[in-house]
Structure 1
Amino acid sequence: MYIGAHISASKGFEAMGKQALSLGANTFAFFTRNPRGGKAKEIDPADVDKLLALMEEHHFGKLVAHAPYTMNLCAAKENVRSFSIEMFQDDMKRMEYVPGNYYNFHPGSHVGQGAEKGIDLIAEALNVSLFPEQQTTVLLETMAGKGSEVGRNFQELREIIDRVELSDKLGVCLDTCHIWDGGYNIVEQLDEVLQEFDQVIGLNRLKAVHLNDSMNPLEAHKDRHEKIGEGHLGIEAITRIINHPVLRDLPFILETPNDDDGYRREIALLRKLWGETPVEQ
């Protein structure tokens, strides 16, 4: 099982890997820069090499880097959109220091322009930012649909993908809290939800899972994460999710409201549930 949590990048790459191991993790997520935006820290190639060696030694799964929350590729204000594209392009270059991993981002908020316009702007940004040689797969995250978020359903993500020239560089990160809040009943209809994902997007594009319980009932469109087993999804549904044949070998990233001890407990619990539950082939 590949499982980890969000780890602060402030101490460097090797330190992130060591912290992941201290949590019982064999993957992790990190923000490429301050999650509220700003200039990224300079990368030390020697530090990156130490992380890569540690990952190989301990058989890590794919890393799932996360773009800053302030990045909005479909912002209504041109200066915000331009700055977001610059951040994205810089992150694409930085991700090549850890080749073959994932870069996850919230598609954006159209801020009153309408979803169709937002989708067009996101695709335009991706078309001027992705490059043929890149080894990073960019993941569009499934969203809860609060406010003017783009990516509130599988169809909107499919429309973005269809407009991107280098669509082979794109995948999807499924957030369990987000899709539940967005109206996909993964508690009672997990198979049907994954079948719909396959029909609309294609399961070959599903690369990672943000594993979160939810403070809200189905279709609340609020996006408030809860600790594993303490929300409206519940431990039985979470167990089915991590053991589903389509999902069980993907990297699972916890974004639950926890400190390190909390993450350590959740990772240990999920490993036990993943290992003990039989899976039908």
Structure 2
Amino acid sequence: MINIGTHLSSSKGFEAAANMALEIGGNTFQYFPRNPRGGAVKKLDDNDVKAFHEIVRCNNFAPILCHAPYTYNLSSAKEDVRTFAREAFRQDLERLELLPCDLYNFHPGSHTGLGVDKGIEHIIEILNENITDDITSTILLETMAGKGTEIGRSFEELARIIDGTKQKEKLGVCMDTCHIFSAGYDIVNDLDGVLEEFDKLIGLDKLKAIHLNDSLKPFGENKDRHAGIGEGLIGLDALLSFIKHPKLKNLPFYLETPYDEKGHAREIKMIKELLNEEVE
């Protein structure tokens, strides 16, 4: 069975988000812990949290993913930007300890002119400050497309961050299909080769989640432009091969395609039907 969901808003509560995940045919979802473009965070409601736990338990949800807002830049040249990221990152991790969520994903950030080496140094410093013994979540570095001064465009850069972090056992990777395709990893014609390289540099045991997206931009252009499943330059066949791959098929897949819940329900239904047709 495919573990699949999409990005849902938790602004109306986690119980509502979990019910919506089920309604559109999913068994998981990802969400922002606060405004994705700002720093505001909504206080948790105890009754909502209890109901959320119960839905997840009764419906055998796959791992739920908390996605850090885009405003966090752990590698910024500006100290005040890094300070905000450091403080908000820690608050998010502490909040996760109260929820049935054990995955926390973040964009490594952009070094904004400092250079990759210094940017990675800043990321490692903040991770080592925040990933303490009391944190039980797995923190995921997301693979990036490589636009501008982004860090995380290569498996090597992610490996350097993991290697420099003290509690390596609490770190993993979320692989974004659009991003790695745009970064120059040929998942269309050489998926096995891409996975072998990942395993060599990072280890497939560190791969904990997949952002499932098609790409509007051509291979290797370092442009982050998501498309609907089967509507971009990766293509439906390649994405289905990705989902079915024996080394990936048991991971949670999160759609980040440019649709609302109805569109995501349609995509989930299509993926499930195509996978069932091939099994039959």
Q: Same fold (TM over 0.5)?
A: yes
| Residue 267 (structure 2) pairs with residue 259 (structure 1) | no
What are structure 1's unaligned runs of at least 5 residues? none
After superposition, the CA RMSD in angstroms is: 0.9
Equivalent residue runs for 1:129-278 within 5 Å: 129-277=130-278
Query: What CA distance in whole angstroms lies between the structure 1 residues aligned with 2:198 and 2:28?
Result: 25
Aligned residues: 278
* Paired letter, 1:161: I
1:52 and 1:98 in contact (8 A); partners too: yes
Distance 1:156 1:45, change over 3 A: same
What amino acid does structure 2 have at the position aligned with 1:248? K
Distance apart, 1:131 and its partner CA: 1.1
Give the letter for the 1:61 counterpart: A
Task: Give the conservation status (yes or no) of the 8 Å contact 1:37–1:71.
Answer: no
TM-score normalised per structure 2: 0.97
In structure 1, C-alpha distance between the alignment counterparts of 2:11 and 2:247, rounded to whole Å? 34
Percent identical = 52
Q: Report the equivalent of 2:112.
A: 111
- Contact 2:64/2:100 (<8 A) preserved: no
Amino acid at match of 1:184: Y
The ranges of structure 1 where at least 4 consecutive aligned residues each deviate by more than 6 angstroms after the TM superposition are none
Question: What amino acid maps onto 2:182 in structure 1?
Answer: D
Q: CA deviation at 1:269?
A: 1.1
Deviates more, 1:222-231 or 1:94-103: 94-103
C-alpha contact 2:97 2:135 (8 A) present in aligned 1? yes
Amino acid at match of 1:245: P
State the match for 1:61 in structure 2: 62
Contact 1:99 1:135 in 2 (8 A): no
> Is residue 65–residue 101 contact of structure 2 (8 Å, CA) maintained in 1?
no
The question of whether the paired residues in 2 share the 8 Å contact of 1:243 and 1:277 is answered with no
Confirm or deny: 8 A CA contact 2:144 2:176 kept in the other structure: yes
In the alignment, structure 2 segments of 5+ residues that lack a partner are none
**Is contact 2:173–2:209 with CA below 8 Å preserved after alignment?**
yes
